[in-house]
Chain A
Amino acid sequence: AQSVAQPEDQVNVAEGNPLTVKCTYSVSGNPYLFWYVQYPNRGLQFLLKYITGDNLVKGSYGFEAEFNKSQTSFHLKKPSALVSDSALYFCAVTSGNFNKFYFGSGTKLNVKP
Chain B
Amino acid sequence: NAGVTQTPKFQVLKTGQSMTLQCAQDMNHEYMSWYRQDPGMGLRLIHYSVGAGITDQGEVPNGYNVSRSTTEDFPLRLLSAAPSQTSVYFCASSYSYGSQGAYEQYFGPGTRLTVT
- By a beta-carbon cutoff of 8 Å, the part of chain A in contact with chain B is 4, 6, 9, 32, 34, 36, 41-46, 49, 51, 90, 92, 94, 97-106
Contact = CB atoms under 8 A, between A and B. Distances in A.
B64 interface: no
B41 to A, nearest CB: 6
Interface centre among A36, A98, A101 (most CB of B within 10 A): A101
B90 A44 contact: yes
B48 A49 contact: no
B50 interface: yes
Nearest to A49: B104
A100 B102 contact: no
Contacts of A101: 33, 45, 105
Interface of B: 4, 31, 33, 35, 40-45, 48, 50, 56, 58-59, 90, 92, 97-99, 101-102, 104-110
Nearest to A95: B102
Interface centre among A44, A94, A106 (most CB of B within 10 A): A44
A33 B101 CA distance: 12
Given A51-B102, A90-B42, A105-B40, A99 B59 contact: no
Nearest to B109: A43
Interface centre among B4, B59, B104, B106 (most CB of A within 10 A): B104
A99 B42 contact: no
A101 B60 CA distance: 12
Given A41-B110, A43-B92, A44-B107, 16 more contacts: A34-B104, A41-B109, A42-B109, A43-B90, A44-B92, A45-B107, A51-B102, A94-B102, A97-B97, A98-B97, A100-B45, A100-B48, A101-B105, A105-B40, A105-B42, A106-B42
